[in-house]
Amino acid sequence: MKFVLAPDSFKGSLTAKQAASAMQRGLSRIFPSAEFIQVPMADGGAGTAQSLVDARHGEFITAEVNDPLMHTISARYGLIKDSHYFTGIIEVAEASGLGYLNDDDRNPLITTTYGTGQLVKDALDKGVNRIIIAIGGSATNDGGAGMFEALGVRFLDSKGNPIPRGGGGLGGLVSIDMSNIDPRLADVEFVIATDVANPMVGEYGASAVFAPNKGATPEMVETLDQNLTHYADVLQRFTGKDIKDMPGSGSSGGLAGGVMAFTNAHIVRGVDLVAKVAKLDEKVVGADYTFTGEGMVDYQTQYGKTPLGVAIEANKGNPDTHVIIVTGGIGDGIDELYNVGVDAIFSMTPGAMSLDKAMQDAAINLERTTENIGRLIKVDGEKYRE
């Protein structure tokens, strides 16, 4: 018997690696001699660097950078090597995330992605030739201007002075001076990993959809959208790239669009990238069962979340594997998952309990649930052997 265990993190309670280990503990009680392969997964948001470093036996580097309000912090990024690439994996949230701010400090008019640019520079100093930017959890709406300021780009007003940092300053942008941009950017492949397809501006853009979670009032949302529209127009004049309506350019407050304007970047679904780098399709060969999961499975899962990506990739690599999702909660609209390679979905929550209690007991609940699924698999196998 062979099991591939490829969960995402259960946010706030388990990393993807911890979740895979809990699954293995539960299943190994029923199948002690089975082969287990752990493939920690992510969808481009928090945990992507951890999943890729775990999957490819990489390392983490810590650097001193600035947070969204320009306070000095220590942040980390991943490094992995293979025969073709020396890759830096940078999560935007690691330096520019909401986690650094309390509710009163959230203000996308002034928060900046400068620290993310500092992480990129540190990775360039290490000699990387590919950078994966994992999108998600940012506190910013500056279109990546802060990131590229840290990399030598100057964003200037009508008097030739630097504009203020943050989404509020973009309205005063008149010109972009790229004469001192880090020349190493031209020789590095940039990959933007995200699970959203929102454009930079408009009704479904970065400001309208995501800025309210970052502290923006309705009036601020209107200003931020106008400023990003103006920013995108100036970017087009100075870089030749029209990015404001590109799918995914609105990720991380438009940072994805900025990366596409200043580099040779391309956008990929985060879960597809992690599956490829982790070589999931190879690891499922010969697997009887592939287990995946995350904190919640509902109608949104079909739009690029980890369980969907695992199901698709697992069935590509091995059409005979059975894909089972174990999740903390099951919402509406999951039926579509059964049409794309998922065989069964189980909730690991044992009964009514507070969210804090469910998160506290996540490892125990996941271990117990996978053990019970293992018992069902064993009974089914014994029945057919008879």
Establish if 275 belongs to a structural domain.
no
Establish if 356 belongs to a structural domain.
yes
Q: Does one domain contain both 244 and 352?
A: no
Q: Does one domain contain both 59 and 106?
A: yes
Range of the domain at 93: 48-270
- CA dist 329 and 295 (Å) reads 6
Establish if 302 belongs to a structural domain.
yes
Q: Does one domain contain both 70 and 181?
A: yes
Sequence-separated (6 or more) residues with CB below 8 Å from residue 146? 96, 112, 113, 114, 115, 116, 117, 140, 165, 166
CATH code of the domain in which 187 resides: 3.90.1510.10
Mind listing the pLDDT tens digit for each residue in 165-224?
Answer: 999 999 999 999 999 999 999 999 999 998 788 999 999 999 999 999 999 999 999 999
Q: Does one domain contain both 97 and 234?
A: yes
Q: Is 60 helix (H, G, I), strand (E, B) or coil?
A: strand
Q: How many helices (H) and strands (E) are present in the chain, helices listed first? A: 13, 15
- Which H/E stretch holds residue 189? strand 189-194
- CA dist 155 and 147 (Å) reads 11
Q: Does one domain contain both 258 and 300?
A: no
Q: Does one domain contain both 293 and 179?
A: no
As given in the structure block, the two tokens for residue 29 are 């009680």
Final residue belonging to a domain, choices 201, 235, 270 = 270
Q: Does one domain contain both 114 and 209?
A: yes
Mind listing the pLDDT tens digit for each residue in 72-109?
Answer: 999 999 999 988 899 999 999 999 999 999 999 999 99
Establish if 347 belongs to a structural domain.
yes
Q: Kindly report the average pLDDT of the chain as a whole number.
A: 93
Q: Does one domain contain both 104 and 132?
A: yes
Q: Does one domain contain both 171 and 69?
A: yes
- CA dist 98 and 106 (Å) reads 8
Burial 338-348 (b: 16+ CB within 10 A, else e): eeebbeebbbb
Q: Does one domain contain both 74 and 215?
A: yes
- CA dist 154 and 109 (Å) reads 19
261 and 243 Cβ atoms separated by less than 8 Å: yes
Final residue belonging to a domain, choices 233, 250, 270 = 270
pLDDT tens string, the chain, 386 residues long: the values are 999 999 998 887 898 999 999 999 999 999 999 999 999 998 888 889 988 898 888 999 999 999 999 999 999 999 999 888 999 999 999 999 999 999 999 999 999 999 999 999 999 999 999 999 998 889 999 999 999 999 999 999 999 999 999 999 999 999 999 999 999 999 999 999 987 889 999 999 999 999 999 999 999 999 999 999 999 999 999 999 999 999 999 999 999 999 999 999 999 988 899 998 889 999 999 999 999 999 999 887 887 789 999 999 999 999 999 999 999 999 998 998 999 899 999 999 887 777 788 788 899 999 999 999 999 999 876 654 44
CATH code of the domain in which 380 resides: 3.40.50.10350
Final residue belonging to a domain, choices 244, 270, 296 = 270
Number of domains into which the chain is organized: 2
Question: DSSP letter at 35?
Answer: E
Sequence-separated (6 or more) residues with CB below 8 Å from residue 376? none
